[in-house]
Amino acid sequence: MANLLKLEELGQLLLSIILFSQLDYAWWVFPLCILLPDLSMAGYLANPRLGAWIYNLFHHKLLAVAVFLAGIASGIPLLTLTGIILFGHSAMDRIFGYGLKYNDDFKNTHLGRIGKQS
Q: Count how many domains the chain has.
A: 1
What is the pLDDT, as a whole number, of residue 1?
A: 73
For the chain, percent of residues with pLDDT exceeding 90: 78
Distance of CA 22 to the CA centre of its chain: 20
> Could you tell me if residue 115 is inside a domain?
no
Confidence band of 3 (pLDDT split at 50, 70, 90): confident
> Could you tell me if residue 84 is inside a domain?
yes
> Could you tell me if residue 104 is inside a domain?
yes
> Could you tell me if residue 118 is inside a domain?
no
Tell me the CB-side half-sphere exposure of residue 118, using CA atoms within 13 A: 1
> Could you tell me if residue 60 is inside a domain?
yes
For residues 103 and 46, the answer to whether their CB atoms sit within 8 Å is no
> Could you tell me if residue 38 is inside a domain?
yes
Compute and round to an integer the Cα radius of gyration of the chain: 15
Nearest to 37 by CA among 77, 94, 76: 94
Residue 47 has pLDDT above 80, yes or no: yes
Confidence band of 107 (pLDDT split at 50, 70, 90): confident
The length of the chain in residues reads: 118
Residues 105, 64, 49: CA angle, nearest 5 degrees: 20
> Could you tell me if residue 32 is inside a domain?
yes
Tell me the CB-side half-sphere exposure of residue 81, using CA atoms within 13 A: 17
Containing structural domain, residue 12 = 2-109
Measured between alpha carbons, how far is 45 from 47 in angstroms, rounded to an integer?
6
Measured between alpha carbons, how far is 60 from 81 in angstroms, rounded to an integer?
16
pTM (predicted TM-score): 0.91
Residue 38 has pLDDT above 70, yes or no: yes
